[in-house]
Amino acid sequence: MKRALQLAQILQHGMTAHREGRLAEAERSYQAVLEVKRDDFDSLHLLGVVRWQQRRHDEASKLIKQALRVRPDSAEACANLGIVLHSLDRRAEAVAAYDRALAITGATANDAPGAGLPLVTCAGRGFAARMGASLLNAVRLPELITNDLDGYEALALKLATKRPMIESIRRRLVQNRQTCLLFEVARTCRHIEAAYATMWDIHLRGEPAHGFRVEPS
Protein backbone atom coordinates (compact mmCIF):
# COMPACT_ATOMS: atom_id res chain seq x y z
CA MET A 1 0.00 0.00 0.00
CA LYS A 2 2.81 2.42 0.97
CA ARG A 3 4.72 1.70 -2.25
CA ALA A 4 1.58 2.19 -4.35
CA LEU A 5 1.00 5.55 -2.67
CA GLN A 6 4.59 6.59 -3.34
CA LEU A 7 4.31 5.60 -7.00
CA ALA A 8 1.07 7.55 -7.32
CA GLN A 9 2.74 10.62 -5.84
CA ILE A 10 5.74 10.31 -8.18
CA LEU A 11 3.41 9.92 -11.16
CA GLN A 12 1.36 12.93 -10.10
CA HIS A 13 4.54 14.98 -9.72
CA GLY A 14 5.57 13.95 -13.23
CA MET A 15 2.19 14.88 -14.69
CA THR A 16 2.33 18.30 -13.04
CA ALA A 17 5.83 18.90 -14.38
CA HIS A 18 4.68 17.71 -17.80
CA ARG A 19 1.74 20.14 -17.89
CA GLU A 20 4.11 22.95 -16.93
CA GLY A 21 6.53 22.08 -19.74
CA ARG A 22 9.32 20.70 -17.53
CA LEU A 23 9.92 17.69 -19.75
CA ALA A 24 13.18 16.46 -18.18
CA GLU A 25 11.58 16.42 -14.73
CA ALA A 26 8.48 14.66 -16.04
CA GLU A 27 10.69 12.11 -17.80
CA ARG A 28 12.54 11.29 -14.58
CA SER A 29 9.27 10.78 -12.70
CA TYR A 30 7.79 8.46 -15.32
CA GLN A 31 11.01 6.45 -15.51
CA ALA A 32 11.10 6.15 -11.71
CA VAL A 33 7.62 4.62 -11.73
CA LEU A 34 8.53 2.23 -14.55
CA GLU A 35 11.62 1.02 -12.67
CA VAL A 36 9.24 -0.37 -10.05
CA LYS A 37 6.19 -1.11 -12.18
CA ARG A 38 7.18 -1.84 -15.77
CA ASP A 39 3.60 -2.12 -17.04
CA ASP A 40 2.26 1.14 -15.59
CA PHE A 41 -0.04 2.44 -18.33
CA ASP A 42 0.11 6.14 -17.49
CA SER A 43 3.90 6.23 -17.20
CA LEU A 44 4.40 4.36 -20.48
CA HIS A 45 1.87 6.50 -22.30
CA LEU A 46 3.04 9.84 -20.95
CA LEU A 47 6.72 9.03 -21.36
CA GLY A 48 5.82 8.29 -24.97
CA VAL A 49 4.28 11.74 -25.24
CA VAL A 50 7.43 13.27 -23.74
CA ARG A 51 9.54 11.42 -26.31
CA TRP A 52 7.33 12.80 -29.08
CA GLN A 53 7.76 16.32 -27.71
CA GLN A 54 11.52 15.69 -27.71
CA ARG A 55 11.19 14.61 -31.38
CA ARG A 56 12.33 11.07 -30.53
CA HIS A 57 9.45 9.67 -32.51
CA ASP A 58 10.54 6.03 -32.83
CA GLU A 59 10.88 5.73 -29.06
CA ALA A 60 7.54 7.49 -28.63
CA SER A 61 5.83 4.97 -30.90
CA LYS A 62 7.28 1.99 -29.02
CA LEU A 63 6.31 3.36 -25.61
CA ILE A 64 2.73 4.22 -26.56
CA LYS A 65 2.31 0.80 -28.20
CA GLN A 66 3.52 -0.78 -24.94
CA ALA A 67 0.95 1.30 -23.06
CA LEU A 68 -1.80 0.12 -25.41
CA ARG A 69 -0.88 -3.50 -24.73
CA VAL A 70 -1.68 -2.75 -21.08
CA ARG A 71 -4.87 -0.83 -21.83
CA PRO A 72 -6.01 -1.37 -25.42
CA ASP A 73 -9.25 0.58 -24.88
CA SER A 74 -7.54 3.95 -24.27
CA ALA A 75 -8.78 6.32 -26.96
CA GLU A 76 -6.33 9.00 -25.82
CA ALA A 77 -3.35 6.69 -26.27
CA CYS A 78 -4.65 5.58 -29.69
CA ALA A 79 -5.01 9.20 -30.77
CA ASN A 80 -1.53 10.06 -29.50
CA LEU A 81 -0.11 7.05 -31.32
CA GLY A 82 -1.74 8.40 -34.47
CA ILE A 83 0.00 11.75 -33.96
CA VAL A 84 3.36 10.03 -33.46
CA LEU A 85 2.92 7.82 -36.53
CA HIS A 86 1.92 10.86 -38.55
CA SER A 87 5.16 12.55 -37.42
CA LEU A 88 7.00 9.46 -38.69
CA ASP A 89 5.20 9.88 -42.04
CA ARG A 90 3.54 6.48 -41.56
CA ARG A 91 0.19 7.87 -42.62
CA ALA A 92 -1.73 4.66 -43.24
CA GLU A 93 -0.85 3.44 -39.73
CA ALA A 94 -1.70 6.87 -38.32
CA VAL A 95 -5.16 6.76 -39.91
CA ALA A 96 -5.71 3.28 -38.46
CA ALA A 97 -4.78 4.56 -34.99
CA TYR A 98 -7.13 7.54 -35.35
CA ASP A 99 -9.92 5.24 -36.54
CA ARG A 100 -9.36 3.00 -33.53
CA ALA A 101 -9.57 6.02 -31.22
CA LEU A 102 -12.76 7.19 -32.89
CA ALA A 103 -14.30 3.73 -32.67
CA ILE A 104 -13.56 3.62 -28.94
CA THR A 105 -14.87 7.13 -28.33
CA GLY A 106 -17.99 7.06 -30.49
CA ALA A 107 -20.35 7.11 -27.52
CA THR A 108 -18.03 9.33 -25.51
CA ALA A 109 -17.80 11.85 -28.33
CA ASN A 110 -21.57 11.89 -28.54
CA ASP A 111 -21.79 12.70 -24.81
CA ALA A 112 -18.92 15.22 -24.71
CA PRO A 113 -20.78 18.35 -25.94
CA GLY A 114 -23.59 17.70 -23.48
CA ALA A 115 -21.02 17.66 -20.68
CA GLY A 116 -19.51 20.93 -21.88
CA LEU A 117 -16.39 19.26 -23.31
CA PRO A 118 -15.16 20.33 -26.76
CA LEU A 119 -13.89 17.72 -29.19
CA VAL A 120 -11.80 17.84 -32.35
CA THR A 121 -12.54 15.71 -35.39
CA CYS A 122 -11.10 15.10 -38.82
CA ALA A 123 -13.66 15.02 -41.62
CA GLY A 124 -13.84 11.73 -43.47
CA ARG A 125 -16.09 9.04 -44.90
CA GLY A 126 -16.13 6.80 -41.84
CA PHE A 127 -19.12 6.78 -39.49
CA ALA A 128 -17.21 8.15 -36.50
CA ALA A 129 -15.73 11.02 -38.52
CA ARG A 130 -19.13 11.94 -39.97
CA MET A 131 -20.72 11.74 -36.51
CA GLY A 132 -18.06 14.01 -35.01
CA ALA A 133 -18.56 16.60 -37.75
CA SER A 134 -22.33 16.46 -37.36
CA LEU A 135 -22.08 16.98 -33.60
CA LEU A 136 -19.78 19.98 -33.96
CA ASN A 137 -21.99 21.56 -36.59
CA ALA A 138 -25.02 20.98 -34.38
CA VAL A 139 -23.39 22.83 -31.47
CA ARG A 140 -22.17 25.59 -33.82
CA LEU A 141 -18.45 24.91 -33.41
CA PRO A 142 -17.47 24.07 -37.00
CA GLU A 143 -13.96 25.47 -36.48
CA LEU A 144 -13.15 22.26 -34.53
CA ILE A 145 -13.64 20.20 -37.71
CA THR A 146 -10.37 19.70 -39.58
CA ASN A 147 -9.95 18.52 -43.15
CA ASP A 148 -6.72 16.53 -42.90
CA LEU A 149 -4.36 14.93 -40.40
CA ASP A 150 -1.96 17.88 -40.41
CA GLY A 151 -4.80 20.20 -39.44
CA TYR A 152 -6.07 17.73 -36.83
CA GLU A 153 -2.65 17.50 -35.18
CA ALA A 154 -2.07 21.26 -35.30
CA LEU A 155 -5.47 22.10 -33.79
CA ALA A 156 -5.21 19.46 -31.06
CA LEU A 157 -1.77 20.78 -30.10
CA LYS A 158 -3.00 24.38 -30.10
CA LEU A 159 -5.95 23.54 -27.84
CA ALA A 160 -3.69 21.59 -25.50
CA THR A 161 -1.23 24.45 -25.09
CA LYS A 162 -3.35 27.61 -25.33
CA ARG A 163 -5.64 27.71 -22.31
CA PRO A 164 -7.45 30.97 -23.27
CA MET A 165 -8.49 29.39 -26.56
CA ILE A 166 -9.92 26.24 -24.98
CA GLU A 167 -11.68 28.26 -22.25
CA SER A 168 -13.28 30.49 -24.90
CA ILE A 169 -14.56 27.44 -26.79
CA ARG A 170 -15.92 25.92 -23.58
CA ARG A 171 -17.84 29.11 -22.78
CA ARG A 172 -19.36 29.17 -26.26
CA LEU A 173 -20.31 25.51 -25.97
CA VAL A 174 -22.07 26.11 -22.65
CA GLN A 175 -23.96 29.05 -24.18
CA ASN A 176 -24.87 27.14 -27.33
CA ARG A 177 -26.26 24.22 -25.33
CA GLN A 178 -29.13 26.48 -24.24
CA THR A 179 -30.43 26.90 -27.80
CA CYS A 180 -29.21 23.91 -29.83
CA LEU A 181 -31.83 21.39 -30.93
CA LEU A 182 -29.30 18.64 -30.21
CA PHE A 183 -29.92 19.11 -26.47
CA GLU A 184 -33.73 19.37 -26.60
CA VAL A 185 -34.29 15.87 -25.28
CA ALA A 186 -38.06 16.20 -24.80
CA ARG A 187 -38.52 17.42 -28.38
CA THR A 188 -36.38 14.55 -29.71
CA CYS A 189 -38.48 12.05 -27.74
CA ARG A 190 -41.69 13.47 -29.23
CA HIS A 191 -40.26 13.14 -32.73
CA ILE A 192 -39.13 9.55 -32.16
CA GLU A 193 -42.56 8.63 -30.77
CA ALA A 194 -44.23 10.26 -33.76
CA ALA A 195 -41.93 8.34 -36.12
CA TYR A 196 -42.76 5.01 -34.45
CA ALA A 197 -46.50 5.81 -34.62
CA THR A 198 -46.20 6.66 -38.32
CA MET A 199 -44.31 3.44 -39.06
CA TRP A 200 -47.01 1.44 -37.27
CA ASP A 201 -49.76 3.17 -39.23
CA ILE A 202 -47.95 2.36 -42.50
CA HIS A 203 -47.73 -1.27 -41.45
CA LEU A 204 -51.44 -1.45 -40.51
CA ARG A 205 -52.41 -0.01 -43.91
CA GLY A 206 -50.43 -2.78 -45.58
CA GLU A 207 -48.17 -0.33 -47.38
CA PRO A 208 -44.54 -1.15 -48.20
CA ALA A 209 -41.92 0.55 -46.08
CA HIS A 210 -41.07 4.04 -47.33
CA GLY A 211 -39.51 7.23 -46.13
CA PHE A 212 -41.52 9.98 -44.44
CA ARG A 213 -40.99 13.26 -42.64
CA VAL A 214 -41.75 13.95 -39.00
CA GLU A 215 -43.07 17.48 -38.68
CA PRO A 216 -41.45 19.70 -36.02
CA SER A 217 -43.42 20.01 -32.80
Domain range enclosing 206 = 184-217
Q: Give the end of a domain, one of 16, 51, 72.
A: 72
Q: Supply the pLDDT for residue 135.
A: 83
pLDDT greater than 60 at residue 1: no
**For the stretch 54-90, what's the b/e string if a residue is b when 16 or more beta carbons lie within 10 angstroms of its beta carbon?**
eeebeebbebbbbbbeeeeebbebbbbbbbbbbeeeb
Please state, in angstroms and as integers, the Cα–Cα distance from residue 161 to each residue in 97, 123, 155, 217, following that order: 22, 23, 10, 43
Q: How would residue 201 be classed by pLDDT, with cut points 50, 70 and 90?
A: very high
Query: Does residue 116 form part of some domain?
Result: no
Q: Measured between alpha carbons, how far is 79 from 121 in angstroms, rounded to an integer?
A: 11
Q: Supply the pLDDT for residue 197.
A: 93
Q: Give the end of a domain, one of 26, 56, 72.
A: 72
Q: How would residue 51 be classed by pLDDT, with cut points 50, 70 and 90?
A: very high
Q: Measured between alpha carbons, how far is 87 from 151 in angstroms, rounded to an integer?
A: 13
Q: Supply the pLDDT for residue 88.
A: 93
Q: Give the end of a domain, one of 72, 96, 114.
A: 72
**What are the backbone angles phi and psi of residue 169, rounded to the nearest 5°?**
-65, -40
- Neighbouring C-beta atoms of residue 217, cutoff 10 Å: 8
Query: Does residue 79 form part of some domain?
Result: no
CATH number at residue 50: 1.25.40.10
